[in-house]
């Protein structure tokens, strides 16, 4: 397996885990008060858009040649870092909201 393929599979696996967490957030939002539900939904929608961007970058990486994937990797890592930071911030916000219920 090439480094490119191993890297792609690693990001895809991590993305699956985070997307499962987003599904949990959506479910939690449905059982929340209306104002909290709106906020949850907005955050999850933003995170899903970020996940779509990462998926698009993964597709780019997949079709890139071995010689170009390293340059695409940098953009993917930047998007991934922003995404995971946003996920952690959202998780913290959800937990603090849960504490207030």
Residues 58-98 have pLDDT tens digits of: 999 888 887 788 888 888 999 999 999 999 998 888 777 65
Name the pTM for this structure. Answer: 0.79
If you ran DSSP here, which 8-state letter would residue 68 be given?
T
Q: Over 70: is that where the pLDDT of 28 sits?
A: yes
Cα separations (Å) of 5 from 29, 35, 71? 36, 43, 15
Residue 83 confidence (pLDDT): 93
Residue 99 confidence (pLDDT): 47
- Compute the mean pLDDT over every residue in the chain, rounded to the nearest whole number: 86
CA-atom Rg of the chain in angstroms:
16
Cα separations (Å) of 81 from 49, 60, 84? 14, 18, 5
Percentage of residues of the chain with pLDDT beyond 70: 94
Residue 98 confidence (pLDDT): 59
**Which candidate, 26, 15, 8, places its Cα nearest to that of 94?**
26
Residue 36 confidence (pLDDT): 78
List of long-range contacts for 6-10, beta carbons under 8 Å, 24+ apart: 7/61, 7/69, 7/73, 8/58, 8/61, 8/62
């Amino acid at each position: 397996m090439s480094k490119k393929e191993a890297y792609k599979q690693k990001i895809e696996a991590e993305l699956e885990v985070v997307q499962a967490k987003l599904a949990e957030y959506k479910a939690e939002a449905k059982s929340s008060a209306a104002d909290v539900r709106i906020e949850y939904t907005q955050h999850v929608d933003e995170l899903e858009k970020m996940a779509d961007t990462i998926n698009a970058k993964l597709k780019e990486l997949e079709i890139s040649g071995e010689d170009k994937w390293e340059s695409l990797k940098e953009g993917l890592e930047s998007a991934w870092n922003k995404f995971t930071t946003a996920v952690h911030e959202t998780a913290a916000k959800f937990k603090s909201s849960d504490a207030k219920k």
